[in-house]
Amino acid sequence: MNSHGQNEQQVVWAVVGTGIGPLLLAATRDGLVNVVFHATDAVRDRALDRLASRLGTEPVEAPASPLLAEAIRQVEAYFSGGRRGFELPLDWSLISGFNRQVLRELASGVPYGTVVGYGDLADRVGQPGAAQAVGVAMGSNPLPVVVPCHRVVESDGGIGGFGGGLETKRKLLALEGVLPEPLF
């Protein structure tokens, strides 16, 4: 508790090396709150500043924290091919409304090794014709990889966009057997 008798929000973070580069993982008492691609020092620092601003507390590096240990273990297992899904508590506080609804459906309804179209995902949440809005939701996903926005593709077979970059999306889809492994 702080000096005013209120529970302070705790945010812990760690950077994990993966087959797609370093990922920043951040967690609160409620669960994993943020995953950030390409977590070089500069990217990491900007992400931590944003988290501090949004959550009202300074994130603390704590890779051994019980709040992060299981997330790190599951992310490492996923990238080594030993895990096909994540069983982690998630803190959805960085996203709300339609975007949260779409991301929750994606997390629960699009399993490893499958893809879904933007329009199909819009239909699943009762918003036919909202494919572009689904694209916006994918772009605002605070929990990529764990909430698998890489599994959302264009209806014409195109790969679609991706906040982590198209090469990262291709690598994730190859890891899951949706695309062939890149030759180089």
- Catalytically active residues are 149
List of long-range contacts for 54-61, beta carbons under 8 Å, 24+ apart: 54/94, 55/9, 55/11, 55/28, 55/93, 56/9, 57/8, 57/9, 57/10, 57/11, 58/11, 59/11, 59/12, 59/13, 59/26, 60/10, 60/11, 60/12, 60/13, 61/12, 61/13, 61/14
Q: How far apart are CA 21 and CA 121, in angstroms?
A: 28
**Quick check: 121 and 74 in contact, CB under 8 A?**
no
For residues 39 and 17, the answer to whether their CB atoms sit within 8 Å is no
| Count of CA atoms in the C-beta half-sphere (13 A) of 56 | 6
The residues facing 12 across adjacent strands are: 27, 60
